[in-house]
Amino acid sequence: MKLTEKTKSRIDAINEQIEQYGAMTIRQIYYRLLGTMALNYRQIQTCCKQGREVGLIKNSQIVDRSRPIYGHNVHNGMESYLTEIPDNFYLDYWGASALRPQIWTEKDAISQILLTEANRYNVPVYVTKGFLSISNKQRWGGYNALILYFGDHDPSGLSIDQDLKNDLEYKQFKRIALTEKMIQRNSLPSIPVKKTDPRAKEYIKTHGNKAWEIDALNPSYLRSLIRRSIENSMTFVLEHKIKRQDNIRNEIKEKLKT
């Protein structure tokens, strides 16, 4: 396949985003390039397809998280299983804390960025994928949960966390992103409000006809938001917890040798 110079230039722009973000969904790439290149979603999709076909974009760098795989982790025998046990031990860093932070997001597309940062603090990440079901509202959270919420600034995005705050009795619920201040500070590109959204009418009254996606945030800025939001509630020294976790893992390894 022979690519035009325009297509090659577009693929270069896509690879620049991948270098910053790591593996991305096509929708993430679209929102990151929104406002900098006159491309619609289908054109981004085509560029990603052609780039992979000619080897300019690695297949592993474009991900589709909408189709999970279910099944068991299998092993060749007991020895291979035992070697995995120590590294799968995670210390409860927050056991003595009054509040236990949890990262919640409506967007599965950014879940891996959230998880990469949250894992350092042994903080879980929950993906609502829109409005949370009644069964999960009853199951998630906990009486001492501190919910740190990351969502879009659009009719549904603002309504999701309001719905959670109305229906759930958590000690604290904080919208970390997106906020209007962040949108202005980062000069995020906007998209038109979807008029088909039943919440559009009320949203437009307050915010106008523009909406913003959290995917458009610079990845390094998003990562710093995650770290700061968690660290603000820490009452312990992280390095001490990490050291204790490593010590326990080493103890497990020693016991498995006997």
CATH code of the domain in which 172 resides: 3.40.1360.10
Which of 61, 85, 107 is a domain's end point? 61
On whether both 114 and 203 belong to a single domain, the answer is: yes
Residue 243 lies in a domain: no
On whether both 144 and 207 belong to a single domain, the answer is: yes
Residue 85 lies in a domain: no
Asked if 223 and 117 count as a contact pair (C-beta separation under 8 A), the reply is yes
Residues 156 and 27: their CA atoms lie apart, in Å, by 18
On whether both 101 and 223 belong to a single domain, the answer is: yes
On whether both 144 and 40 belong to a single domain, the answer is: no
What is the torsion angle, in degrees rounded to the nearest 10, for the CA atoms of residue 192, residue 193, residue 197 and residue 202?
-160
On whether both 43 and 144 belong to a single domain, the answer is: no
Give how many domains the chain has, as a whole number.
Answer: 2
Q: Is 174 helix (H, G, I), strand (E, B) or coil?
A: strand
Residue 15 lies in a domain: yes
Residue 169 has a pLDDT of: 62
Residue 151 has a pLDDT of: 93
On whether both 44 and 102 belong to a single domain, the answer is: no
On whether both 150 and 99 belong to a single domain, the answer is: yes
Residue 82 lies in a domain: no
Residue 31 lies in a domain: yes
Question: Which residues does the chain have with pLDDT short of 50?
Answer: none
On whether both 107 and 227 belong to a single domain, the answer is: yes
Residue 52 has a pLDDT of: 92
On whether both 48 and 118 belong to a single domain, the answer is: no
Residue 75 lies in a domain: no
Residue 134 has a pLDDT of: 76
Contacts of residue 47, defined as CB under 8 A and 6 or more positions apart, other chains included, come to 7, 10, 11, 14, 39
On whether both 109 and 55 belong to a single domain, the answer is: no
Residue 159 lies in a domain: yes
Q: Which tokens go with 3?
A: 């690519």
Beta bridge partners of 101: 146
On whether both 36 and 115 belong to a single domain, the answer is: no
Give the domain range for residue 161.
94-231
Q: Which tokens go with 13?
A: 């722009």
Sheet holding 145-150: strands in order across?
125-127, 100-105, 145-150, 172-177
Residue 219 lies in a domain: yes
On whether both 101 and 209 belong to a single domain, the answer is: yes
Query: Which residues in 133-144 are b (16+ Cβ under 10 Å) and which e?
Result: eeeeeeebbeee
